[in-house]
Amino acid sequence: MLLRKMAFKDWEKLSTVSDAQRAKLIGWSPGGAAAEIGITRQGIHHAIRRGDLDAVAVYDGTKLVMFMIPDDSLRAYQERRQRRSA
The pLDDT value given to residue 14? 73
By CB neighbour count within 10 A (0-12 exposed, 13-18 middle, 19+ buried), where does 27 fall? buried
| pLDDT tens, residue by residue, 20-65 | 666 666 789 999 999 999 999 999 999 999 999 999 999 999 999 9
Domain residue spans of the chain: 3-85
Q: Return the SS3 of 61.
A: coil
The pLDDT value given to residue 17? 67
The pLDDT value given to residue 16? 72
pTM, rounded to two decimals: 0.79
